[in-house]
């Protein structure tokens, strides 16, 4: 019977474990199973881009292992277990070789996002790393040590690319960063703010190549040669790719669950299939794909109650994002593309205060760099909620 059928959560990132913690605040009895294709260690993903600054390897970043999390959550945590199919009709998931089927009362998809892999040619692609989870991070750190890496080429000057640029500079590496657009954080910041971040990082030794795409990575006598599509080359010992992420929707899609940019849910985090929910990087919640921690925590709080029988809509207040570039700190409340309005910008060296307002004068977003980040609280209060 469905009363005692387990709640099954796919994924043990901040969304999966965060939800399990919230659910256990309201329901300590219903059987709870968490299934993950990684090793199930709990960790804070944002720390992956501060590892050299804080001198923490993967083991230092890991908080508890799967067994420890299972005890804490009164749950069973199945690590190294891939879920390949969902049968929404019979409320079954198929794991591993698909010979094993598990029945769920409620199923939650918190399967995260995949990194986008830019199309790159060449014979040295094994030197191109992307760091999107703790296992990737472990591989990356070990490769840096093994190959005696001194020079790193970073692909992408968005959030991940700029954070890694700053972290690697702090770690004493030489860093060259490539982005086809014109300045740092181009999809989040207006140009003067992005240029301030660029200057801050350049003052620490970063070299930027704005405009070109990375075309190829080939072996050199020592390390690799990165070839850009404008013909320039960069000599490096390793390449880190950080060009963005895309919600993992395939599992849901194959099960006939509605997907768009992410797995589509309403404000109750319900997908189009009965008793199946989604949250975190994989989800598109009432039209919003938000690949950050604050929205997934808000979703976990609401869904924890809903799963315990108290149906609760998710509330998204304005949630500015802090970007971990201490060379030039940034706080941004991004403006959705196509929003009507204008940036109003005050600039004082690397301190940029930019407000995005509509014709009626309402504040819809902001970007703050350097000393101007102290204005965050004042502006945050003026922003409209995303989902209230
Ligand atoms: P994930 O942590 O990716 O978890 C997905 C889980 O699903 C994993 O356990 C995986 O093994 C499992 N899984 C996937 N497919 C399957 C399957 N088929 N079967 C079984 N298991 C499966 N956000 C901020 O707000 N602030 C920051 O400063 C910040 N910094 C960041 C820095 C870096 C370097 C990165 C990469 C991200 C950063 N983010 C930041 C984003 C933030 O970390 C993510 O939004 C958040 O961690 C996503 O959590 P999640 O649980 O949705 O996904």
Cα separation, 316 vs 279, whole angstroms: 13
Confidence of residue 4 (pLDDT cuts 50, 70, 90): confident
The mean per-residue pLDDT over the stretch 322-334 comes to 98
Looking at residue 98, its pLDDT comes to: 67
Evaluate whether 225 touches 234 at the Cβ level (below 8 Å): yes
Q: Is the ipTM of this complex over 0.85?
A: yes
256-271 per-position pLDDT tens digit = 999 999 999 999 999 9
Cα separation, 201 vs 183, whole angstroms: 12
Cα separation, 271 vs 306, whole angstroms: 13
Residue 2 clears pLDDT 60, i.e. is over it = no
Site residues for ligand 1, CB cut-off 6 Å: 10-16, 35-38, 45-46, 48-49, 82-83, 110-112, 131-133, 160, 163, 248, 251, 280-281, 291-294, 296, 321, 324
Q: Encode 200-211: b = buried (16+ Cβ within 10 Å), e = exposed.
A: bbeeeebebbbe
Q: How many CB atoms lie within 10 A of CB 346?
A: 11
User: 192 CA to middle of ligand 1, Å?
Assistant: 30
Q: Between 1 and 94, whose confidence is greater?
A: 94
Q: Which atom of ligand 1 is nearest to the CA of 113?
A: 3
Nearest residue (CA) to ligand 1, atom 38: 46
What are the structure tokens assigned to 120, written together?
Answer: 């790159």
Half-sphere exposure of 368 (CA within 13 A, CB side): 17
Looking at residue 3, its pLDDT comes to: 56
The mean per-residue pLDDT over the stretch 176-192 comes to 97
Cα separation, 140 vs 51, whole angstroms: 11
Nearest residue (CA) to ligand 1, atom 21: 36
DSSP state of 383: S
pTM of the model: 0.97
* Residue whose pair of structure tokens reads 């030489």 in the numeric block: 174
* Residue whose pair of structure tokens reads 């986008």 in the numeric block: 116
Evaluate whether 75 touches 93 at the Cβ level (below 8 Å): no
Confidence of residue 255 (pLDDT cuts 50, 70, 90): very high
The helix-helix angle for 191-203 and 159-170 (nearest 10°) equals 20
Among the listed residues 175, 205, 181, the one whose alpha carbon sits nearest the alpha carbon of residue 195: 181
Among the listed residues 52, 372, 376, the one whose alpha carbon sits nearest the alpha carbon of residue 196: 372
Nearest residue (CA) to ligand 1, atom 35: 46
Half-sphere exposure of 381 (CA within 13 A, CB side): 3
Portion of the chain with pLDDT greater than 90, in percent: 97
28-58 per-position pLDDT tens digit = 999 999 999 999 999 999 999 999 999 999 9
Looking at residue 96, its pLDDT comes to: 79
Evaluate whether 318 touches 385 at the Cβ level (below 8 Å): yes
233-236 contacts at long range (C-beta below 8 A, 24 or more positions apart): 234/153, 234/176, 234/178, 234/209, 235/151, 236/151, 236/152, 236/153, 236/176
Cα separation, 142 vs 151, whole angstroms: 15
């Amino acid at each position: 019977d469905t009363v005692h059928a387990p709640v099954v959560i796919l994924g043990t990132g901040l969304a999966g474990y965060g939800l399990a913690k919230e659910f256990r605040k309201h329901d300590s009895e219903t059987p709870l199973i968490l299934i993950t294709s990684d090793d199930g260690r709990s960790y804070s993903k944002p720390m992956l881009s501060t590892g050299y600054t804080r001198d923490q390897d993967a083991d230092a970043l890991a908080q508890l292992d799967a067994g420890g999390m299972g005890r804490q959550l009164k749950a069973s945590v199945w690590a190294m277990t891939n879920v390949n199919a969902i049968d929404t009709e019979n409320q079954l998931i198929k794991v591993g070789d698909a010979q094993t089927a598990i029945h769920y009362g409620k199923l939650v998809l918190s399967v995260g996002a995949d990194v986008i892999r830019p199309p790159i040619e060449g014979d040295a692609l094994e030197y191109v790393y992307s760091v999107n989870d703790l296992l990737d991070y472990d591989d990356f750190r070990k490769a840096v040590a093994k190959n005696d890496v001194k020079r790193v080429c970073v692909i992408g000057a968005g959030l991940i690319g700029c954070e890694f640029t700053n972290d690697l500079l702090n770690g004493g590496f030489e860093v060259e960063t490539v982005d086809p657009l014109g300045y740092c954080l181009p999809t989040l910041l207006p140009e003067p703010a992005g240029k301030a971040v660029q200057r801050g990082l350049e003052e620490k030794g970063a070299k930027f190549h704005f405009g070109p795409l990375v075309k190829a990575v080939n072996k050199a006598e020592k390390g690799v040669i990165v070839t850009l599509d404008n013909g320039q080359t960069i000599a490096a010992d390793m390449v880190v790719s950080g060009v963005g992420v895309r919600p993992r929707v395939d599992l849901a899609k194959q099960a006939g669950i509605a997907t768009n940019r992410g797995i589509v849910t309403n404000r109750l985090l319900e997908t189009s299939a009965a008793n199946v929910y989604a949250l975190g990087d994989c989800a598109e919640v009432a039209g919003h794909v938000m690949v950050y921690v604050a929205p997934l925590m808000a979703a976990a709080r609401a869904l924890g109650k809903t799963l315990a029988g108290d149906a609760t809509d998710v509330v998204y207040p304005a949630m500015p994002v802090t970007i971990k570039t201490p060379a030039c700190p940034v706080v941004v409340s991004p403006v959705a593309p196509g929003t009507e309005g204008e940036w109003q910008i005050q600039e004082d060296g690397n301190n940029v205060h930019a407000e995005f307002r509509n014709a009626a004068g309402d504040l819809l977003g902001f970007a703050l760099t350097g000393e101007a980040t102290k204005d965050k609280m004042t502006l945050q209060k003026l922003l409209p909620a995303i989902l209230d």
